[in-house]
Every structure is written in C-alpha cells, then in structure tokens.
Amino acid sequence: MDIEKFLERATALPGEPGYEAGVGGYLAEQFAPLADEVSVDPLQNVIARVGKGGPRVLICAHQDEIGLVVTQIEEDGCLRVTRNGGVDPRILPGMEVAVQAKSGPIYGVIGAKPPHLLTEKDREKALKITDLYVDIGYPAEKARELVRVGDMVVMLAKPIKLADGAMASKTMDDRASVAAMLVAAEILKNHGTKVEALFVSTAQEEVGSQGALVAAQALRPDAAIVIDVTHGEGPGTGKWEAYPLDRPTIGHGPNVHPALEKVAKDVARENGVQYSLEVCSNASGTDAESTQVAAGGVPTILFSIPLKYMHTTVEVLRIKTIRETGRLIALFLEELSRRWEGFEWY
C-alpha cells in the first residue's frame, strides 16, 4: 500500500472521540478489498475480518483524534472551547481549526490576548484553555445562527514530507498505526493466513479506550495485539522515556502478556525486524489497558510506533517504521498460529 497517500487523506478527516464517523467510513473503504467482511459497530469501531480458523486474534489501533468542543459564544462572535481528549493549550494559539457545524465546516483561528496587553504577572502564568478562543469572523448573531454549544472543533494542518523518509502531520496518533494494520492485512490477504484476524479501528481511545473495551467484549478473542504510538527521541528527551524513530517498540509491563512478548521478540529476531523494548512500568496509556481486562481477560501484546511531538499538529515519524510494524504484526500472527496448539501461557 501507499502509506504516504493513505496518511495524507486519513489524517485530514475529522474524528474526535464519539464523532469518528467521518474517518471511520474512509477506513472501512480501505479495509474492504483486503478483508472477508467489514462492519461498523454502534460505538463506531470499524471491524475487518481477514481469515477464518485457528486462533481468533483482535488487532486494534485507534481512529479518534484529540480536539476541542464549543462551550460558549461570546458577544463578539468568538467561541470559547474546552478539550475533547488530551489537548495541550500551549500548542493552540495561532492554529487553524474547523468547527464541525450542522451546515458544514466553519473555518477559524485560535487567538489569545496579545502579549503586549498582558501584565508582567500574567506573562509568568501558564496558558490555560480558558484564555483562548476561536475566531470565525462572524458577529455574534450570525455565529449563534451557525454554531451550537457542543459542536466539535477539529485542528487543521497539512502533512509535510521531511528528509530521510520522515513525515509530519496531525493525527499520526493513531492513524499511523491504522496504516500499519492495513499493511499487515495486505500481507495476510496476499500470502494467506491460518488465524482469524479481527482488525479494529477503535473509537474513543483518547478519552479512556471505550471502543477497544466494547470490541474485545463483543468479539471475545483468544489474544489481542494493540498498536499505538510512543514518544520518539528528540532534543531534551531522557533515557527510557523516548525511542529511536527507525524501529517499532515491543511493550513490556503489566498490560503485556509475557508469553506473547516472547513470541514477538523471537519473531523479530528471526526475521530481521529491529525493535526497541519499551518498558511500561505502570498502565501503558493505550487500548491494551482495555483489551487485557475484557471478556474475562484477553492476553495482550503492545507494539508502538515512535514519533516526536505527540499531541501536536506536527507529529513526526518515519514511513519505514510504519511498514516494519505492519510486517511485524503479520509475522507475529503467522508464528502464533504455528505455536497455537498446546500454547503454554505460563
């Protein structure tokens, strides 16, 4: 698959937690030629089944993105907003946005009180979401006609190709991992599979992994693979908190089953897939938290794609790493099917 082309389209589509239909429809179209069947559940999870027989494995990456929601319309027509997901107010001033109004997108920019008008004490304070507003250009009467409190506000940014196979864009978290699932599904489709692979683009990960929990409860898999992004090495990052961009990570910690971790490491070494070990000493902050405890307990493995500047509109990663993550998923599924009969969990 053409990963860059996919990301250029997928990262541009709106999909805040609870409102993922905009991106979900496109993802269903992308999975359709690779899957035996594709469906969408009531929570807007997109589910694509590839293969039948053997272990039933859930593979999930979330489709939702962080964003904002309108809370108030000011007397000058500007919109006050709050977070939908983990938005850092520091990245917002000067950003272009689109209000997802009933009549269609309404474009605006995020403004704040100019520094020239702040007191010296105000300049020392951390920026808060309540200090910001969305300016859509309309006077209050027209703004209130078009915009409702509760409308989603999506951040906008065009993808940028960087040197050495790197790419920057909004929403790489986690549509880059959906791209890795598509790579894996394509490999399984082309080479055959002895597993029932259930690829799920999950909803509402950014607000608590509800989509993954619902999917795992409904599908009752024998095992689960979760793919997400993690922090990539960059200026100021310390040891054990960020990882090289040129290879995926294999998770290690309470959300990861040791037997599946061993299979993943064996497969990577035997097939020349370079990886980093990511130590998640507590909860991983991914869908693995939900899949692990669903349906009476689902043994789970976590693969991650390192990127820089997480939860901004310039998340940077390497296309090669997405492809290698997809290859690792396919190899892992193949090896799990070979070992499945008599597989020892402990």
Strand order in the sheet with 37-40: 37-40, 46-50, 196-202, 56-62, 223-231, 300-307, 249-252, 276-279
Catalytic residue from among 16, 205, 324, 334: 205
Residue 205 among the catalytic residues: yes
- How far apart are the C-alpha atoms of 269 and 257, rounded to whole Å? 19
Burial class (CB in 10 A: 0-12, 13-18, 19+), 89: middle
Strand spans (E) along the chain: 37-40, 46-50, 56-62, 67-73, 79-84, 96-101, 104-112, 132-135, 152-155, 160-161, 166-169, 196-202, 223-231, 249-252, 276-279, 300-307, 315-318
Instruction: Write out the two tokens for 105.
Output: 């997108």
Q: Is the dihedral of CA 180, 186, 187, 192 positive or negative?
A: positive
From the centroid of its chain, how far is CA 181?
12
Would you list which residues are annotated within the binding site for Zn(2+)?
Answer: 62, 173, 206, 228, 311
Instruction: Write out the two tokens for 73.
Output: 């319309």
228 near 287, Cβ under 8 Å? yes
- How far apart are the C-alpha atoms of 273 and 83, rounded to whole Å? 38
Strand order in the sheet with 315-318: 160-161, 166-169, 315-318
Would you list which residues are annotated within the binding site?
Answer: 62, 173, 206, 228, 311
Q: Would you call the peptide bond into 36 cis, given omega within 30 degrees of 0 as the criterion?
A: no
Instruction: Please identify every residue annotated as catalytic.
Output: 205
